[in-house]
Amino acid sequence: MAPKLKRAEVNASVHICSRTLTGDFSAAIQVATHHRIQLIYPKSHLNIPEWAEELRVETLVGFGIDPKLYRVLIHKMTPANQPCPRGQELKCLKDTALDQIATGPYEIHFVLQDGVKAPSVDKLREWQQHYAAAAADPAPIPTKHIFTLCQPGRNHIARIAVDDLKTPPEGDVERTLRHGLGLTSTQEVMKHNLGMAFKTKLVNKEVKFHLNGEGCTDLKDIEDLATIALLPSNVVKVHVSPSSGIGSLAMGDGGDDEDEETDED
């Protein structure tokens, strides 16, 4: 098995490259927040693509740019009277030694994702307003229901609020950010949270349910819980289909399976 490696800590000052602030401004430059951000990320065991993706999302959100549309190129801060260095993907920060901290300062460029049409200023501002409203809207106090694994010999029972299933766990900054930006589906979040409650790994398995009073043939997709109104007396009976590995349902901490570190780009 390949050794598990760590990515160095990132606590870097990041600025928009001054050379992008001349001539005709792109839509991203026009709507971006033009103050520096401090990109803070702890040491991590994530593999390089996942780690770099988290940095990309945090950087773009920090500048108020929709991460579904853009990626980032980065280079060390260079005096404005010198040519702009060739930008690199954020994964270049992996070369920072583990006993050091990537501090910058860095300059960045906003680059459209492959196949994405350049958005208008209005479209980017609409995303900013939507994100600000979603971040400021407090969630209502949820009603909890009994969930059980409908399988002979299994006694997995939990009392869960459906609204809590639909959003990442409190304190899980990475999942919260990705879900709020639409980068992680509601189905993925619900399976992760249900697995945490059951202390069973459900990610990458097919998960369905029926309610008490309904037969095991009347199965619905787990994400349908987000669209139906449950009665206080309802019990949610969860099924994991045999084709998805119900026979090997493992007890655990409910988190995702760790990927073996390969350090592949």
Q: What is the pLDDT of residues 141-159, one digit of tens each?
A: 667 888 988 876 566 788 8
Count how many domains the chain has: 2
Instruction: Decide which of 115, 134, 153 is a domain's last residue.
Output: 134
Using one digit for the tens of pLDDT, what is the confidence trace for 171-187?
777 787 887 777 878 88
Kindly report the CA angle at 181 between 197 and 71, in degrees rounded to 5? 130
In a domain, 175, yes or no: yes
Rounded to the nearest integer, the mean pLDDT of the chain is: 81
Instruction: Decide which of 110, 134, 158 is a domain's last residue.
Output: 134
Residues 69 and 125 in one domain: yes
Do residues 124 and 28 make contact, with C-beta atoms less than 8 angstroms apart?
Answer: yes
Using one digit for the tens of pLDDT, what is the confidence trace for 181-229?
778 788 888 888 888 888 888 877 889 999 888 888 889 998 898 888 8
| Look-up of token digits 């109104």 | 229
Residues 128 and 153 in one domain: no
3-state secondary structure of 173: helix
Q: Report residue 59 as tokens.
A: 């950087």
What is the C-alpha to C-alpha distance for residues 160 and 194, in angstroms, rounded to an integer?
Answer: 8
Domain that holds residue 150: 144-248
